[in-house]
Copies of this chain bind each other. A is one copy, B any other.
Amino acid sequence: MSHLFTIGPVEMFPETLELGGKQVPYFRNDEFSEVVFSVCDGLKRLLFNENGEIILLTSSGTGAMEATVLNCFSKEDKLIVIEGGSFGHRFAQICEVHDIPYKSVKFENETLTKDMIEEAIGDEKFTGLLVNLDETSNGQLYDIEMLSQVCCEHDLVFVVDAISAFLADEINMDKYGIDAVILSSQKALSLAPGLSIVSLSEKMLKRVEVIDSKTLYFDFKNHLKNAERGQTPFTPAVRIIIELENMVKRLEKKGIDNIIKETNELAVYFRKRIKEIGLDYPTYPLSNAVTPVIFPDENADVIYQKLIDEYGFTVNPNGGDLGKKMFRVSHVGKHSIDDIEELVVAISNLINNK
């Protein structure tokens, strides 16, 4: 088994694996409702959304992104989509499929600024903004304070895909006036893929009430009604929810600030070492969750494969044109400075043909 430095799935914790190996219980009962209540209450605290609600969806993160757009917006809306990579593009595709008017702020390899968004807005009236706080495809972390300010000034509903940023960078719904946060089980939560989470602010709950969403499976109104009794409308990913209860307790015990600090330390250490061995990373602001490593010799794809074959380390390859230029290394999941140092040494050996 390879040691994972990928962004999802990530290295899982022994307690999670122990729960994963257990018989899945029947769930239409009070015992499981208690698990759901515990998960939702904990997530509300971790996201600073104590007056809002949590929706548990059995889907990948993309399902939750589409569900959020479907339940929170309609054809009467007009959205700004921050499209700085393939995950931003996915939000644009979702608007496209459901005929929801939008305008993209499109860019590549440069830092997103307030001016870029203001220019896109111009004199037009928009109603919401969709952003992947960490654009996982290239690791850029957008400035949440700036985004929050834009949303406040233009009265925009603020939707944050924090799938890879959660637990790595600050996500505070109250402080930044975020109306929806989207999470997924297989990133820093370090669980198996298959469960996604949408956290809705009190304000957004009022919006959801009046939107006529054309979906049965992803209908938030039905999910919210069932959540009142600690249940979901349809059979959920019971096993992951049980693992999530354990993880949320662990995270609350540790404290959100400490977790972000630890992830930051791993990222800072890795970035320092990468420079020392003659490699580089992008100059735009990076999420603590992931470092794109730039190979001046354009042999990232070769090193990627050798890391697996010779060291048993799996990092995240980049697709398409970027495949030779860079790969990405995650700093979430069960990792220590020692693990990262081992990876750096392995990369160093390989680029020096040792």
Contacts and interface: CB of A to CB of B under 8 A. Distances in A.
Interface string A227-268: 000000111111110000000000000000000000000000
Nearest to A62: B234
A24 B12 contact: yes
Interface residues on A, range: 35 or more
Contact of A23 (B1, B8, B93, B184): B1
Contacts of A9: 23-27, 238
Nearest to A187: B235
A125 interface: no
A66 B195 contact: no
Contact of A195 (B17, B61, B194): B194
* A17, A193, A194, A233: most-surrounded residue (chain B CB, <10 A): A194
A192 B185 CA distance: 15
A17 B17 CA distance: 11
A317 interface: yes
A214 interface: yes
A296 interface: no
A203 interface: no
Interface of A: 1-2, 4, 6, 8-9, 11-12, 17-18, 20-28, 58-63, 66, 90, 93-94, 97-98, 184, 186, 192-195, 214-217, 219, 233-240, 314, 317
